Chain A
Amino acid sequence: MTSAANTPVEQRSSWLKYLLLIVAALASAVPLIVMLLTSVKTLPDVQSGSLLALPHSFTLEPWLKAWNSACAGLTCGGVQVGFWNSVKITVPGVVVTIALGSISGYALALWRPRWNGLLLMLLSLAIFMPYQVVVFPLVKMWSTANIFGTLFGVVLVHVVFNLPLITVLFRNFYVAVPGEIVKAARVDGAGFYSTFFEVILPMSVAPIIVSVILVFTNIWNDFLFGLIFAGPTGRPMTVELNNIVGAVTGEREYNVDMAATLITALPPLLIYFLSGRYFVRGLASGAVKG
């Protein structure tokens, strides 16, 4: 839908349009380029050269150091530990959230329980609420239940904060499923759970993909909950990263810092580049949280 670029005026604006897009794309890419360049320079190179200068001698040392031995305060184990912690937190978090979210969304959409309207309102409230409003009471609850500082505890926190959005996402998808399919399943003798696993779930590939992307990105990129709930040995990568870069022991090794930052950014970035339109759909259904 466009006015075809035929007249001279519109040709000119078409050129302007491409200029704007290219400049914006480059500006958008600059930080990534900076990270990449810095992470493959030697330290003297970084200090003497400028941000966007090409490396004089290409080296992967910073990456190795970032992974294995970068120091954050007293420990020098690199981001490796954080990486595996993030994996241990993110994978169960994604699985549990989607399992609960899909069946809850299905219950809300196709088996409309009595307090449907009320639940939806509460869900909207939950989606918009800033974490800081409930983070302290949650800490209290978690310590009372003896799960504060455990892996289970931090995974549970992520489930709590991602479930409302994912439930609404699945619910909106299932509302578009014709109700007669559920009726037919009832006539065929399938109950609530049989209908879900045999009929509905196979139809849910799209929302599942979108949800996986959304939840994975949210949990992997999270900082606040990892900081507060994860316990000293369970810290996710984002927390470790911040500690490493913020550590003020000796001189700042910018190249290692950038390498560590890149490693942290890589998983969701890869998912992003591979998933294309599913990521966009995820955005449309409620904005990637920060």
Chain B
Amino acid sequence: MRALVRRFGGRAALTPLVVILVVCYLGGIGWTIGISFTDSRMVPRWNFDGFDQYIRLFTTPRWITAYTNMFIYGAGVILGTLILGSLLAIALDSRTRFESVFRTMLLYPLSVSFIVTGLVWDAILTPSTGVESMVRGLGWSNFSFDWIGQQQTAVYCLIIAAVWHHVGLVMVIMLSGLRAFDPEIWKAAKVEGITTARTYLHVVLPSLGPTIMTCVILLAIQVIRSYDLVVALTGGGPGVSSDLPAKFVVDLAFERGNVGQASAAAVIMFATVLVCIIPYILIGTRRSEVE
């Protein structure tokens, strides 16, 4: 009995994990890829259709909007959080008083649901209840801030809410990267008379490449996955102007009864994620070779 446990104990313990990985993940991905090549509508069926779904996908206006939105949204979120997050991390880096208070205030958005984030920013950005009415109430009666109601600018509202939600994450990651930075270099810079700002800009930040990379990857994954936020903040609208791929997939699969096309869209999402991670893995392996 003991010998059995010794031989198989480890493997038995791992069985649930392996089953989940193989059945749910590998199986699921395989199924989705497979179905994306069929003409399934509401019910999945295995009539192979070649690349039709993909062709149809990229001629569907809603998908084009959603996919391009993803890049706009992604760029906005990544740039916004990186710049703000880095500035905040730099501010916190130098033995600031009340550091933990600031950190607590800046990090709490990460603990709430995207639904909460979406709903509250909806209230803030909707003209009748939010910023516009507040500013008008202060006297500027011509002030207008209706990004959320306009097709061109609805996406920017997503960016604002997402940056608010994620800036703490970037700040924490950048801060730990800064803190790992060799203090001796600071002394060397001081001896040479370089100002703090320039040291940060020209010496510290460039060497934080991997840390920045980590932030970008994590944010990119979040961006690609974004569903809850869209549902709560704009509902994808007005119309479909602030749609994102994740919402597109779910809507098409469950509400519109078009499993084949939803799967094709999902495969594109998956491919996009892979494109983001692969450089990360490559950099990781290259670094360990150098070491």
- The reply, when asked whether chain A contacts chain B directly with Cβ atoms under 8 A, is yes
A: which residues have CB within 8 A of B?
Answer: 1-3, 5, 9-10, 13-14, 17-18, 20-21, 24-25, 27-32, 34-35, 38, 46, 49-52, 100, 103-104, 106-108, 111, 113, 119, 122-126, 128-138, 140-141, 159-160, 163-164, 167, 191-193, 217, 220-224, 228, 238, 241-242, 245-246, 254, 257-258, 261, 264-265, 268-269, 271-273, 276, 279-280, 283-284, 287-290
The residue from B32, B101, B114, B134 contacting A52, defined by CB atoms under 8 A apart: B134
Residues of chain B whose beta carbon lies under 8 Å from any beta carbon of chain A: 2, 5-6, 9-11, 13-14, 16-18, 20-21, 23-29, 31-32, 35, 44, 84, 87-88, 90-96, 100-117, 119-121, 123-124, 129-131, 133-134, 137-138, 164-165, 167-169, 172-173, 176, 179, 181, 183, 186, 190, 195-197, 218, 221-222, 224-229, 231-232, 235, 245-246, 249-250, 253-254, 259, 262-263, 266-267, 269-270, 273, 277, 281
A80 to B266, CA, bound (A): 35
Q: Which of A3, A134, A238, A265 contacts B32 (CB 8 A)?
A: A134
Given contacts A28-B106, A224-B228, A280-B107, contact A264 B116 (CB under 8 A): yes
CB distance from B263 to the nearest CB of A (A): 7
Interface centre among B93, B96, B101, B119 (most CB of A within 10 A): B119
Partner of B10, one of A31, A100, A167, A192: A192
Docked-complex contact A132 and B227, CB < 8 angstroms: yes
Asked whether A129 lies within 8 Å of B131 as measured between CB atoms, the reply is no
User: Distance in Å from the Cβ of B268 to the closest Cβ of chain A?
Assistant: 10
Shortest beta-carbon distance from A38 to chain B in Å? 7
Would B250 and A224 count as touching, CB distance under 8 A?
yes
* Pairwise interchain contact B266-A133, C-beta atoms closer than 8 A: yes
Contact B262 A133 (CB under 8 A): no
Q: Flag if B5 contacts A122 (CB, 8 Å).
A: no
Contacts A38-B123, A223-B227, A241-B119 given; indicate if A269 touches B25 (C-beta within 8 A): no
The smallest beta-carbon distance between B178 and chain A, in angstroms, is 8
Main secondary structure of the interface of B (DSSP, over half): helix
The distance from the CB of A275 to the nearest CB of chain B, in whole angstroms, is 9
Chain B neighbourhood of A128, CB < 8 A: 221, 273, 277
Are A28 and B164 CB-contacts (below 8 A) given A254-B129, A290-B228? Answer: yes
**B residues within 8 A CB of A27?**
164
Partner of B108, one of A9, A28, A46: A28
- For the complex formed, measure the closest distance between the CB of B275 and the CB atoms of chain A, giving whole angstroms: 12
A125-B25, A272-B108 known; A257 and B91 CB under 8 Å? no
Chain B hits for A20, CB < 8 A: 87-88, 91
- Enumerate the 6 nearest inter-chain pairs by beta-carbon distance, A residue then B residue, closest first: A192-B9, A134-B28, A221-B113, A2-B94, A272-B111, A50-B134
By the criterion CB–CB under 8 Å, are A113 and B113 in contact?
A: no
Q: Tell me, in angstroms, the Cα distance from A13 to B199 when the chains sit together.
A: 14
Contact check, B232 vs A135: say whether CB atoms are below 8 A apart: no
A133 touches B222 (CB 8 A): no
Across-interface contacts of A50 in B (CB, < 8 A)? 133-134, 137-138
Contact B190 A3 (CB under 8 A): yes
A2 CB contacts on chain B under 8 angstroms: 93-95, 186
Whether A31 contacts B115 by the Cβ 8 Å rule is no
Minimum CB–CB distance from A285 to chain B (whole Å) comes to 11
Name, among A135, A193, A245, the residue most crowded by chain B CB atoms within 10 Å (CB to CB).
A135
Q: Which residues of B lie under 8 Å from residue A35 when comparing CB positions?
A: 120
Residue of B nearest to A186 (CB): B6
- Chain A residues closer than 8 Å to B114, beta-carbon distance: 221, 223, 290
CA distance A264 to B113 in the complex (A): 8
A17 in contact with B123 (CB, 8 Å): no
Interchain CA distance A107-B262 in the complex, whole Å: 38
- Complex CA–CA separation, A31 to B162 (angstroms): 13
